[in-house]
Structure 1
């Protein structure tokens, strides 16, 4: 419990610092945000992903943790889509992004520091990153592309294949793939190259959390009353159903216990990743549900993770 509290305290301090920048430096806020976003996306986050994966025993992670992450995400998103379609008659233009918001977690921003400080191992978060970046995200992007084709006014239709390729082949995914290759083949970089890349990767977490805190400024949750039932259902699936399903898969199916089990549940309880919103916007899909679920799941993550830690001991 102490490790979880320490991890959350560190995370909240950095998020609060980003929020404070938006409040006390309103004139500089836009310039700082514009500078942080490309720096994180193109440099520090890819460096972090490479360092994490290249230094992890992927054979052990892929054998247990990655299948759990994949099964949990697929079942969560699929069951939500089925219920939303049956109960709320959610239109196809809104359903894929909403389903992704229930099953695609913020492993890069919040998962890494929580795994390090609360669990003491990066294996759970690396498994989620592998499942999301190399399997789940490409599948959702293909679904997004097919959905967007139904809208004749969408500009994505003109260059569908290129749009999918650009979405999948982003710097983070490429760095993840290269790090996985290094790990599987047992390669290592010379120290003169490894050290600066690691320094850039170490800077990614605080910058990510500060940028996330800045993005929270001025948001008003649940402003659209008509969509509240769908938002509540999606938030329930993300915040409660996904961690419970992860516990079932990890404990009852794969037999995990102790810290390993806690790590899997905490990763599943993470809030929705902001990438869901970015992907949805790129394919001209309705982003009403993802935008709300990102915020509500972020606010509810702390009590859920603390409860999971207390229950799992």
Structure 2
């Protein structure tokens, strides 16, 4: 338990530093965007290449992948049914809401928590790959077919293949290929990857702290409060419970593996959802408010999980 507390303390200190830097404007008004792109295009791909190339593939294609993906799909589907039959929302808003309830922040918070709290980055890799390879393409294809006018609608092939150009996915694929081939790249290649990969976590935490400044959420008359409340409840309560049930009784997991699965499921909504909502101009406030509220709620939820399962 002391290791968990220590890990969270490290994370909170760096996030708090990012928040202070954002409030004071020390890094300029575009700092969050620049750091986020650095993490997305450079550091995280390097981290994935190095981690996967030096890890056991059985840790990736395992029950961890099944539990993480199945819990996300199940929770997203339940949200969609409730939003369709009870809230009477249009399909694009349902897609954004379903993603808000089940698409995990696997980079900005997932990787730091996996490294500092779970002490193993490989726990987050299966979910990260699932979201980029499967979840994003399906969601984007649905939004492309329902949210855009005929003039702006792109081909289904382009919609599906665009996420495959994601640098994080490319890094993951390269790492997997190297691992499958059993090749050991020279130290001169691995050292820079390791160095850049180690910068991913602190930069992601600073970026997250920067994004917390100057944001007003759940504003009356602007925020779809019922949708946000439903998405938040599904994300930080239902998804960890589903993951626990699948891991504990479906695969017989106990101890640290069970703890890791539930913690990963309790991670907040990814900022990717807001990017998708902005791209299609549907459900933007829902995505933004869900991301921030689930982030705030996930802190006590993960602490409770740690107190009971760690």
TM over 0.5: yes
- For residues 245 and 33 of structure 2, what CA distance do their matches in structure 1 show? 42
Give the TM-score taking structure 1 as reference length: 0.93
Which residue in 2 is equivalent to 1:273? Answer: 270
Shift in CA distance, 280/7, structure 1 to aligned 2, threshold 3 Å = same
**In 2, are the aligned partners of 1:137 and 1:168 still within 8 Å (CA)?**
no
- For residues 16 and 148 of structure 1, what CA distance do their matches in structure 2 show? 37
Shift in CA distance, 116/215, structure 1 to aligned 2, threshold 3 Å = same
Quote how far apart the aligned CAs of 1:56 are: 2.2
- For residues 229 and 284 of structure 1, what CA distance do their matches in structure 2 show? 20
1:186-226 Cα deviation digits (max 9, x unpaired): 22221101100110010011111111111111111101446
**2:23 pairs with 1:23:** yes
Instruction: Name the structure with the higher helix share.
Output: 1
CA RMSD of aligned residues (A): 1.8
- For residues 79 and 218 of structure 2, what CA distance do their matches in structure 1 show? 19
Which residue in 2 is equivalent to 1:122? Answer: 121
Which residue in 1 is equivalent to 2:109? Answer: 110
- Structure 1 segments of 4 or more deviating over 4 A? none
Structure 2, unaligned stretches of length 5 or more? none
Which residue in 1 is equivalent to 2:34? Answer: 35
Aligned length, in residue pairs: 309
Quote how far apart the aligned CAs of 1:35 are: 2.9
**2:207 pairs with 1:208:** no
Q: Which one is further off, 282-291 or 38-47? A: 282-291
Structure 1, unaligned stretches of length 5 or more? none
Which residue in 2 is equivalent to 1:131? Answer: 130
- For residues 191 and 263 of structure 2, what CA distance do their matches in structure 1 show? 30
1:241-276 Cα deviation digits (max 9, x unpaired): 000000000000000000000000000000111111
**2:298 pairs with 1:301:** yes
Quote how far apart the aligned CAs of 1:6 are: 1.5
Shift in CA distance, 33/115, structure 1 to aligned 2, threshold 3 Å = closer
Give the TM-score taking structure 2 as reference length: 0.93
Which residue in 1 is equivalent to 2:245? Answer: 248
**2:22 pairs with 1:10:** no
Q: Secondary structure at the match of 2:281?
A: coil
Shift in CA distance, 158/267, structure 1 to aligned 2, threshold 3 Å = closer
Quote how far apart the aligned CAs of 1:158 are: 4.6
Q: Any residues of structure 2 matched to 1:215-226 within 5 Å, and which?
A: 215-225=211-221
Quote how far apart the aligned CAs of 1:113 are: 1.9
Which residue in 2 is equivalent to 1:48? Answer: 47
Which residue in 2 is equivalent to 1:179? Answer: 175
